[in-house]
Structure 1
Amino acid sequence: MVQQPAENCCPAETKPDRKPAQCQHTGQPASERHAAGSGTIRQCPRTTLSLATAGRIAAARKNSHRSTPQYPLRSLDFRGRSRRLPVSETPVMPDETLLLLGIDGGGTTTRALLAAAANPAQILATGFSGPSNQRAVGPLLAMQNLDAAVNAAFEQSGLPRCTVAAACLGLAGADRDSDRGVVLQWASEARLADHVRVVNDAVPLLSAGTGTGFGVALIAGTGSLAWGCNASGDSTRAGGWGWLMGDEGSAWAIGSAVLKAVVCAADGRGPLTALAPAVCEQLQISTASDLVARIYSAEIPRALIAELAPLAFTLAGAEDAVASSIISNAGRDLAVMARTVADRLKLPQQLPLAAAGAVLTQQPALLQAVVQHLSHDQRYCPVVTVVHNAAEGALRLAAELHQQNS
């Protein structure tokens, strides 16, 4: 595995000097294994950190009596009207106890990490809530879930919610100015932080996964996206077009392929597959002919379809040819995304690849398929880091934002 002597994609960022075989954001050794084909896959271990610092911060806060009054949070509902969101007081922390927030939000879950600015590697607390992708659930629910995740992080830390020094939010569906504007408006009204940065969810992933800040970030969860940055600071993306126009290789795409295989087998247009009885059992229907009523009457059919994806992995492991083909095709689609980004940015053969999303991180067969398709012609030899917690990358970017403005 070759260490890349590259510049950081953001000139103002501090380039960490870490051993390539270590987890870049914990300093702990990263387990390393080789996938089938060329390429290396590293697992960044999940970190469990002490909350002792939280006690010291809580003690320091006893001398602080500054606070701001309650205020109404407003956000757009599904019809574009302004509506109130529940909020609580946001006291201002004394300088010696400044805090940071790193938030990762997608189509299923939002995670918020809280840390002290003096020691951002020491995670004080983690808060979870529902999806915060505006394109998936709408701006109102997305902002409510962001607020809930922040509240949950402060609750776990034992600290009253306050305005932090800096916050970075890596959010799915935040590529456009209009989407970022909604988040920034909420952050301003919520007095979230003195300095706020909103980016798409791939940017913190690359920071957490490669350490250098350049390479390709590949996400496959409810949706899919490839985003990259080179040493000159140029960036580009592929995918991320949503479930109607894209999301290849995602849980939804795999689940949709499962359904198509089942109905083709039922018609005699495709081979028989063990996916058919497995799908009927999971959806609690008798035959494939019941699929129309079950799928089209579902309140959120996209989520229902995405939940079928694990069946493909299970039966591919049992050597079902149709299921194996679905997984291989999903890996190829994701590899095409990553290759397109790498080609545009002229990235090196030893390609830093940060992988995230529930499908890529929980299904090794898919990641191995991606590596195989990427390296089949020797154009790239991906060096893969599996990132289980992209919010750590957002927290790192929040720390850099704080340093830039200190």
Structure 2
Amino acid sequence: MTDYFLGVDVGATKTHALITDAEGNLLGKGTAGGGNPTMTSYELFGRVVAAATWQALAQARITMPQISAAGFGVAGYDWPSQRGLTLAALDLLELTAPCDLVNDAVLGLLANARRGWGISLVAGTGCNCWGRNQHGQMGHMTGAGNILGEYAGGSELIARALHRVAYAWTGREGPTALSDAFIAAAGAQDLEDLVAGLTINRYVLDASHAPLIFDCAAQGDAAALELLHWAGDELGVMVITVARQIGVQQAAPDVVLIGGLFKGTPSLQDLVEASVRPQMPGVTFVSMQAPPVIGAVILAMERARRPAHAIRQALLALQTQAPVTF
């Protein structure tokens, strides 16, 4: 009898499902919209996961009872108290096989860390950090952003950059190239119009404008450079904190970098590394090569007590030969 494994990566903007056999061969995949239940609802989360999963099942030409185990990485799934609601929303799948749930940030770690453990650091629209040690112990930040004092996602970077622009207008600080960049992006007439428009929501600048900060920093703007150094320090503190939680400061962990901010120039990775390496000299920074949904399949196989290391290597080898695309 062939074993089949289902992995699902549920993000804020998209959901991916993948089905493989025990050797890691890709059999079916599906995609749907965002399903973070804390941003929408658990009902919508369940429907989104079902839509992506049913596509994958149809492509694999199997039925749900044939699934041997499933793994789900869910954006917004941060606390044990959410487990019951999350599993209840998955009842729509009529899944009878064992399954496991993790925060979606963990999937990038499972798919890309060379030994299957280490730390995942997310810097995209928001920021987050999760870790897993050699014994399976998990550690994490709150994932609540500036509400609970965790900074350096795109949203926080833009907020800090707007402070600097406002300081330039009031004269609290000197001019910054960020002002002209944001005036152009917002379509404002000048700096005063921009500042006034921001106060009454006539203009809105959000995380999607974070690349402008990198552009200004690349031109040598002092305020923009200071913002990126601040972001590197904040993200570095997250890595060190989670490493301390799971006891891997001196164990040479991989740190998997996830999110669009790590693609910018100047390199945010270099700034994070400068913050982390003095306290964790053996750390290795790893870029995302395999998509997170591969980590969801690995989670499913671990739930079925398959030899994780061999499976991971097989999946990554197949990913190299024929990358999973959606």
Q: Same fold (TM over 0.5)?
A: yes
Indicate the residue corresponding to 2:110 in structure 1.
Answer: 207
Q: TM-score under structure 1 normalisation?
A: 0.66
Greater mean deviation of Cα atoms: 326-335 or 337-346: 337-346
Q: CA RMSD in A?
A: 2.8
Report the 3-state secondary structure (helix = DSSP H, G, I; strand = E; otherwise coil) of the residue aligned with 2:71.
strand
On the 8 A contact 1:239/1:248 being kept in 2, the answer is: no
Instruction: Return the match for 1:194 from 97, 103, 115.
Output: 97
Aligned residue among 93, 101, 107 for 2:12: 107
Distance 1:358 1:146, change over 3 A: farther
The answer for the alignment partner of 1:123 in structure 2 is 26
Q: 2:153 aligns with which of 250, 264, 277?
A: 250
CA distance in 2, matches of 1:177, 1:123: 31
Q: Distance in 1 between matches of 2:296 and 2:304?
A: 12
Structure 2 CA distance for aligned equivalents of residues 160 and 283 of structure 1: 50
Distance in 1 (alpha carbons) for counterparts of 2:202 and 2:297:
37
The SS at the match of 1:244 is helix
The match for 1:180 is 83
CA distance in 2, matches of 1:343, 1:284: 46
Is the Cα–Cα contact under 8 Å of residues 215 and 265 in structure 2 kept in the other structure? no
TM-aligned CA distance change 1:352 to 1:144, over 3 Å = same
Q: Give CA deviations for 1:10-67 in whole Å, capped at 9, x if unaligned.
A: xxxxxxxxxxxxxxxxxxxxxxxxxxxxxxxxxxxxxxxxxxxxxxxxxxxxxxxxxx
Cα deviation, residue 204, structure 1: 2.3
- Structure 1 residue 282 and structure 2 residue 188: aligned? no
- Kept in 2: contact 1:107–1:222 (CA 8 A): no
Q: Which of the numbers 335, 338, 350 marks the counterpart of 2:252?
A: 350
User: Which residue of 1 is the match for residue 226 of structure 2?
Assistant: 325
* Mapped partners of 1:204, 1:263: distance in 2: 39
Partner of residue 336, structure 1? 237
In the alignment, structure 1 residue 399 sits paired with structure 2 residue 301: yes
Q: CA 1:326 to 1:341, structure 2 compared with 1: closer, same or farther past 3 Å?
A: same
Once the two structures are overlaid, the 10-residue window that deviates more, 99-108 or 366-375, is: 99-108
- Distance change >3 Å, CA 99–CA 379, structure 1 → 2: closer
Q: CA contact under 8 A between 2:117 and 2:253: conserved in structure 1?
A: no
Q: Which residue of 2 aligns with 1:237?
A: 140
Which consecutive unaligned segments of at least 5 residues does structure 1 have?
A: 1-94
Q: For this pair of structures, how many residues does the alignment match?
A: 302
Contact 2:47 2:92 in 1 (8 A): no
Contact persistence 1:254–1:330 (CA under 8 A) = yes
2:264 is aligned with 1:359: no
Taking structure 1 as reference, are residues 158 and 194 closer, same or farther at Cα in structure 2, changes over 3 Å only? Answer: closer
AA at the equivalent of 1:395: V
Residue ranges of structure 2 left out of the alignment (5+ in a row): 307-326
Matched letter for residue 265 of structure 1 = A
Contact map agreement 2:216 2:224 (CA 8 A) in 1: yes
Which residue pairs with 1:225 in the alignment? 128
Q: Give the aligned residue type for 2:276.
A: L
Tell me which amino acid in the other structure corresponds to 2:98.
H
1:391 offset after TM fit, Å?
1.5
User: Could you tell me which amino acid in structure 1 is paired with residue 222 of structure 2?
Assistant: A
The aligned counterpart of 1:369 is 271
Please, what TM-score do these two structures have when normalized by structure 2?
0.81
Offset at residue 263 of structure 1 (A):
1.5
1:270 aligns with 2:210: no
More helix per residue: 2
2:29/2:56 contact within 8 Å kept: yes
2:39 is matched with which residue? 136
Letter in 2 for 1:100: F
Opposite residue 240 of structure 2, the aligned amino acid is R
Preserved contact between residue 218 and residue 265 of structure 2 (Cα < 8 Å)? no
SS in 2 for 1:134: coil
1:312 to partner: Cα distance: 0.8
Shift of 1:202: 3.0
Q: Is the 8 A contact 1:355 1:361 kept in 2?
A: no
1:314 aligns with 2:314: no
CA distance in structure 2 between the partners assigned to 1:296 and 1:141 by the alignment:
33
